[in-house]
Amino acid sequence: MGLKWKQIQMRQKANFEQELQNRLSFLSGKKIEAPKIDKDPLVRKLRANIRAVNNRLRLIADHEKRTEEVAKIKADRAAAPPKEQKGGKVEKPKKAHEEGKEKKIKGEKKAAPPKAQEGGKSQKAAEAD
């Protein structure tokens, strides 16, 4: 997730927080008590939206952290000298085709046996006709 996605989430969070402050000041201006303010549907929805954005921002931060770790590991691997392998697979250089080897020609195939004729006749009956 890129920086743009993170910035969008930050703006949404700021917007939700501003709307929540406006709603809370409106309700307090109407002399509504705190327990009723907590039960107000718009307040609950705005708080839920803020929690959702916070979760998304946390996931973005985790993703960025993981990306940095992977980049660091790749850089360490690139900087480290290649290790010699003991036993097991040994890299062999690929040899080019030798001049003595020739490709098989596709035209030199064995002749296929004759197919049975249609109409249910066997080969012996077809030869007798």
The number of distinct structural domains making up the chain is 1
In a domain, 88, yes or no: no
Contact of 9 with 53, CB cutoff 8 Å: yes
Instruction: State residue 40 phi and psi, 5-degree precision.
Output: -65, 130
In a domain, 63, yes or no: yes
Domain limits for position 64:
3-79
Q: For the residues 48-53, what does the mean pLDDT come to?
A: 97
Rounded to whole angstroms, the Cα distance separating 128 from 91 reads: 65
What does pTM read for this prediction? 0.57
Rounded to whole angstroms, the Cα distance separating 53 from 82 reads: 44
pLDDT tens figures, 59-86: 999 999 999 999 999 999 988 887 766 6
In a domain, 16, yes or no: yes
| Lowest-confidence segment of 25-34, 42-51, 95-104 by average pLDDT | 95-104
In a domain, 34, yes or no: yes
| 15 C-beta neighbours (distance < 10 Å), count | 14
Contact of 20 with 47, CB cutoff 8 Å: yes
- Rounded to 5°, the CA angle 93-95-101 comes to 165
